[in-house]
Amino acid sequence: MKKLFTMLALIIAAPLALQANSAMAETEKTKQVVYHFNKADMNTIKAGLRNATNHVNSPSGPETEIEVVVHGGGIAMMTGAKKDPQLAAAIDNLKANGVEFKVCANTLRGRDLEVSDLYYTDESDIVASGVAYLADQQMKGWAYIHP
């Protein structure tokens, strides 16, 4: 009788366990991609943000951890968004979908900018060196995209 109850419990529990694992797999981030912005050309910046948005909205989007790294001329993205509602909306949308933006501290110092000069940025978004951060992410296996 004890064996019968054990078998019944396993028969009932197995599908529930599979369902729980399936639900967890749907939300787990198993892919990692870093987008690199280092040019001031606003058309390139907006096209790159559209690429990132398309990535978020793609079938693999929910399982992909995405970061945007900004340094050099790419800082125009974060300063320009303070005056450009379309650019600001693109950044807002990506951040709302879990995309993290990383900004180079060397670029801020070199251009005499403060975090407060940047759109929707705080101290936790600042990395010591944008290029070093990119290299570190690639060494960890992150895919690299440069629009």
Q: State the first-to-last Cα distance of the chain, in angstroms, to the nearest integer.
A: 66
The model's confidence at residue 5, banded by pLDDT at 50, 70 and 90, is very low
Q: What is the pTM of this model?
A: 0.81
Mean of the per-residue pLDDT values of the chain: 88
pLDDT of residue 29: 83
Tokens representing 88?
């600001």
Between helices 42-57 and 85-96, what is the axis angle to 10°? Answer: 30
Give me the phi and psi of 102, to 5 degrees please: -115, 130
pLDDT digits (tens, 9 = 90+) for 110-132: 999 999 999 999 999 999 999 99
Report d(CA 68, CA 103) in Å as an integer: 8
Q: 90-99: b or e for each residue (b if 16 or more CB lie within 10 Å)?
A: bbeebeeeeb
Give the bridge partners for 65, in sequence order. Answer: 32
Identify the structural domains of the chain with CATH numbers, from first to last: 30-145 (3.40.1260.10)
The model's confidence at residue 27, banded by pLDDT at 50, 70 and 90, is low
Instruction: Find all residues with CB under 8 Å of 113, minimum gap 6, and list them.
Output: 75, 79, 107
